Amino acid sequence: MIGLFKWKYATAFLIAGILILSYAYIETYWIKTKNLTIYSENLPDSFDGKKLVFISDVHLGPYISEKRIQKVVNRINALQPDIILLGGDYIDIRAKYVMPVFNALQNLKAPMGKYGVLGNHEFIEDPQQVIRKFRESKLNLCHNNSFWITEGKDSIKIGGVGDLWESDQKIENTINDVRDSDFCILLSHNPDYIEELKTNKIDLMLSGHTHGGQVTFFGLWAPLIPSDYGQKYRYGLKQIKHTQLYVTSGVGVVGVPFRFFCRPEIVEITLKTIKD
């Protein structure tokens, strides 16, 4: 009788484990569209209502295929964004994945441009190949670089800094010609950079890197966060002094082909002007 009870107990645990792992695997495919509205008194009228789409951490590799990323691209294009922003970590380390990921990303469509930075994974094998394919794919590279986006008589600034772990960060290349009254977006793969941001000229900073924890305790806490600040910049919208920061959960996975209560996401951002 005791042996039968132990066998049933072990079987129940085994079935529960299989169900949890099955769900965690399925969740990697369950991409949501996160709707976010960013309000700013610095946003010019011509950009009121403009739609941005932001993704990060594609991680094309052994767990994420080119076909899956092309489906993400199709979903983004269906949203008809004005601007597309990319937050880095396009590959899972190995250079052999560079060409297939940009074969997919080159199909992104946005009339006001596509802009992105590099993540730490791009620096591990062949960053120059990544930079070359990035530009060949008609994507604007914001690695310590920036661009003015113009609509009518109005403009906003989009810039980026190098990865906090693997590169340098030249914020001056974004803010040197930005006035306090201008609207400026900064791309930084690693959200920890917000702690080093000493300017009030950045209205919105967009980051990835953390995957939202990827495997979490029911979305509340994650045991592994690649951050010096614990859970602080794991996921979501934060207000840090003068800057709003959004940290996305990303699209892909790294390490294991699982997510748990941390769905991958495409972030749809609507810009809104605060009227006097």
What confidence tens digit (pLDDT) does each residue in 11-67 have? Answer: 777 777 788 889 999 999 999 999 999 999 999 999 999 999 999 999 999 999 999
Q: Which CATH class is domain 31-273?
A: alpha beta
Q: In the predicted model, is pLDDT for residue 245 greater than 70?
A: yes
Arithmetic mean of pLDDT, 118-145:
94
> What pairs with residue 207 in β-bridges?
247
pLDDT at 3 over 80: no
- Tell me what pLDDT residue 25 has: 92
So what's the pLDDT on residue 6?
64
For the cut 60, the answer to whether the pLDDT of residue 223 exceeds it is: yes
Q: Which of 124-133, 170-179, 231-240, 245-254 has the lowest mean pLDDT?
A: 124-133
pLDDT reading at 5 higher than 60: no
- What is the model's pLDDT at position 19? 86
Which is more confidently placed, 117 or 11?
117
Domain boundaries, the chain: 31-273
pLDDT the model gives residue 1: 54
Q: How far apart are CA 43 and CA 267, in angstroms?
A: 19
Pairing relationship of beta strands 243-247 and 236-240 according to DSSP bridges? antiparallel
- pTM of the entire predicted model: 0.94
Mean pLDDT of 109-127: 95
- The number of CA neighbours under 13 Å toward the Cβ of 140 is 21
C-alpha span between 242 and 201 (Å, rounded): 8
How many other C-beta atoms are found inside a 10 Å radius of the C-beta of residue 50?
18
Calculate the average pLDDT of the chain. 94
Check if the beta carbon of residue 202 is closer than 8 Å to that of residue 243. yes
Query: Residues 6 or more apart from 122 whose CB is under 8 A from it?
Result: 88, 89, 90, 91, 130, 163, 166
User: Tell me, what's the pLDDT at 20?
Assistant: 85
**What CA–CA distance (Å, rounded) separates 118 from 89?**
6
The pLDDT of residue 150 is 96
- Residue 2: its pLDDT value, please? 58
pLDDT reported for residue 126: 87
More confident residue, 168 or 1: 168
Over residues 172-183, mean pLDDT: 96
For residues 116-126, average pLDDT: 93
**Beta bridge pairs of residue 91:** 60
Give burial (CB, 10 Å; 0-12/13-18/19+) of 111: exposed
Residues 6+ apart with CB under 8 A from 203: 38, 40, 42, 43, 183, 184, 185, 242, 243, 244
Percent of the chain with pLDDT over 90: 87
Report the candidate in 35, 22, 66, 70 with the shortest Cα–Cα distance to residue 266.
35
C-alpha–C-alpha distance, residues 188 and 123, integer Å: 15
* Residue 9: predicted pLDDT: 64
Distance CA 183, CA 4 (A): 68
pLDDT of 111: 98
Compute the C-alpha angle 174/51/238, nearest 5°.
60
- Strand, helix or coil for residue 237: strand
206 phi/psi in degrees, rounded to 5 = -115, 130
Distance from chain centroid for Cα 208? 4
Spatial distance between the Cα atoms of 225 and 227, rounded to a whole number of angstroms: 5
Q: Which helix (H) or strand (E) holds 13?
A: helix 2-27
- Indicate if the pLDDT at residue 4 is higher than 90: no
φ, ψ of residue 120 to 5 degrees: the values are -65, -30
Nearest to 195 by CA among 232, 166, 170: 232
